[in-house]
Amino acid sequence: MKKYKVGMIGCGKRAMLHVPALLADERCEVVGVCDINEEAAAAMSAEFGSKPVVYTDHKEMLENEKPEIVIGCLWTILHLSTFQDCVNAGVKVYHSEKPMAPSWGDCVKMGELAKSSGCQLTFSHQRRYCKGNIAVRKMIKDGVFGKILRMDLYSPMNLLDCGTHTFDQAISFMDETPAKWVLGAIDAKEPINWFGVSAESMAAGIVVFENGVRAHIQTGGPDLDMYTGVRVIGEKGFIEVEWDGGYLNSAVYADPSWKPEKYEHVGEETMAAMMKDFVDSYENGTEPEIDYKKGLRATEIIFAFYESVRQNSRIELPIDIDDNPFVTMLEAGKFN
Ligand SMILES: NC(=O)c1ccc[n+]([C@@H]2O[C@H](COP(=O)([O-])OP(=O)(O)OC[C@H]3O[C@@H](n4cnc5c(N)ncnc54)[C@H](O)[C@@H]3O)[C@@H](O)[C@H]2O)c1
């Protein structure tokens, strides 16, 4: 069995959720853990029998430990620069927290760098591995709900940090079909700042996908009739699927007795399935379920949405912008 040296950068809340999966996968040996807060790194090191070396500077960790796999659990503003440092140090597999990056230009740069370097790049859209979501993908493929016509998409605020999960979930339900155009509106009266990126407190709009499916979206704000997830509406029935694959209402119109089998969501299992997939993919040269190219599809909708607000216009994909239009508008005082 091949063993891989693993490094961790950022040892906060999300990083801790990777620990059970790392302990369970015998191929992974954590050799170094890094956090600018030494106590956090030391606490992470204590989780592993291998007693990984504690660092407060990730470049030093990369140079000394030469990990093949790095898991980056950092605030969004650090995702691109840390990935660049890892590629420069010869890292072969980089798994990053979502969302991809604070601006569309940075997201594209991450993708280009993954492609040119050959470093396998994935993002924590871990909900793709929830059993309930896997089962819905199969039900849709098997035609249980007939041709999909519409979707309602929901998440807590905001588009970038939370919306990314919902867009990714919707795209996964449509066999990775990308969006065609977006028209959106935001509530920017009381901007928030999560993980170093400013954002709106509510957004609502419409996304039309290349297969003709029309999706209404609301992130944050009042009167959400689902808090997270996707309502999939087909010709023959519908199902409401929460982020982690829990089902709310559902129906198959021709069979009133139909009920979907329900699956318990166990967070640890989901995280373990994600890690197994990105390590297996590296070993076998296959594309992980959470590959950056899928991340880009979900993320492009977010920046197209902000661009729609900037231009007061419907936006066709692909978009050709570099910045985060929300942040540009905020800094220009547009929302004052
Ligand atoms: N996938 C999901 O469902 C999900 C859920 C929540 C959060 N997130 C994402 O996870 C990311 C991190 O969130 P978190 O809750 O773990 O944050 P956190 O604040 O708990 O942890 C971040 C850690 O990074 C450390 N850090 C900061 N700068 C550093 C540097 N230069 N080098 C090394 N360490 C550094 C901090 O000291 C901190 O310990 C965010 O981007 C967030 O959007 C994802």
Domains of the chain with bracketed CATH: 4-127+269-291 (3.40.50.720), 131-264+297-331 (3.30.360.10)
Determine if ligand 1 sits within 6 Å of the CB of residue 168: no
Determine if ligand 1 sits within 6 Å of the CB of residue 204: no
| Substitution candidate for ligand 1 out of 14, 107, 127, 195 with most atoms within 8 A of CB | 14
Give the distance (Å) from ligand 1 centre to CA of residue 14: 6
Determine if ligand 1 sits within 6 Å of the CB of residue 74: yes
Please state, in angstroms and rounded to a whole number, the distance separating the CA atoms of residues 143 and 114.
35
Determine if ligand 1 sits within 6 Å of the CB of residue 10: yes
Q: Are 110 and 81 in contact (CB under 8 A)?
A: no
Nearest alpha-carbon partner for 26 in 60, 9, 46, 3: 3
Give the distance (Å) from ligand 1 centre to CA of residue 152: 29
Q: Is the pTM here over 0.85, yes or no?
A: yes
Determine if ligand 1 sits within 6 Å of the CB of residue 263: no
pLDDT, block means (10 residues), the chain with 336 residues? 96 97 96 98 96 98 98 98 98 98 98 98 98 98 98 97 98 98 97 97 98 98 96 98 98 98 95 97 98 98 98 98 98 96
Atom of ligand 1 nearest to the CA of 37: 37
Please state, in angstroms and rounded to a whole number, the distance separating the CA atoms of residues 183 and 208.
9
Determine which residue's CA is closest to atom 18 belonging to ligand 1.
12
Determine if ligand 1 sits within 6 Å of the CB of residue 17: no
Give the distance (Å) from ligand 1 centre to CA of residue 12: 6
Give the distance (Å) from ligand 1 centre to CA of residue 273: 21
